[in-house]
Every structure is written in C-alpha cells, then in structure tokens.
Homo-oligomer: A and B are copies of this chain.
Amino acid sequence: MPLDQGIAQRLKRNEAGLVSAVVQDATTLRVLMVAWMNDDALDETLRTRRGVYFSRSRNEIWRKGETSGHVQHVVSAELDCDGDAVLLMVDQTGGACHTGKISCFDEGGALELGVGAPS
C-alpha cells in the first residue's frame, strides 16, 4: 500500500528518498538502533506495527527479525519537527543489534569526554 498522503507530504527525505529512524525500547527507553526508512518501510511499519526499514547496503526493504527472529512490536511512532526523522518505541524480542547485543550502542561503546579541555 502507498504511504498515507498526509504523512508522505510531511516527510523531508534525503537525496536517496530516506528518513532516519531512531528505535527506542518502550520499557527501558534505551536507544537500540538507528536505521533508515523509505516510504514503503514507514507505511509497512505503521500498518503492521513491526519494525520495517530500508537497508542501504542491500538496497531493499528490511523486515527486522525476519531471519534472526529478533522482531520489534511498535508501540508508538512519532515524526520530528522537520519531517526527516521517525522515533519508534518498540517491544524488542532478543537483541536489537546484529552482533547480539541489546543495543547497537552497547557494541560500539562509550567515547571519552573532556579530554583536552575543561568540562
């Protein structure tokens, strides 16, 4: 199905036709991952309440958990002020990161602050 016209008109897509998607755990509020959506991915996410994205590396729709089983049930979706980012609250089954970690930011890890300057 095509994306709802009212929503489609509010989107500010990048040159590749994509908006950012920030995915937050609905219980812990931990940010789990950052991904991309085209209109079809956003439409499918909103209709089915499953986290569906656009894979830039594979250049195709990516239904999160389709192979891993680590699916996301979407509890809420919000668009930001300028229409180029979507925030999803999800109930996440298993780890959100392809490495197995709960969050992709658990895998990447902390960056040191205040080095070379007063805090």
A residues bordering B, Cβ < 8 Å? 1, 4, 7, 10, 20, 22, 24, 29-31, 33-34, 46-49, 74, 76-87, 97-99, 101, 104-105, 107-117, 119
A22 touching B47, Cβ below 8 Å: no
A31 touching B34, Cβ below 8 Å: no
Number of copies: 2
Residues of B within 8 A of A105 (CB): 78-81, 85, 87
- Complex A-B: 5 CB contacts under 8 Å: A4-B115, A76-B110, A77-B111, A81-B104, A81-B108
B80 touching A33, Cβ below 8 Å: yes
Contacting A113 at CB < 8 Å: which of B24, B49, B84?
A: B49
A87 touching B46, Cβ below 8 Å: no
Interface centre among A77, A79, A108 (most CB of B within 10 A): A108
Q: A31-B31, A47-B117 are in contact. Are A78 and B24 (CB under 8 A)?
A: no
Residues of B within 8 A of A87 (CB): 31, 105
CA distance A80 to B30 in the complex (A): 13
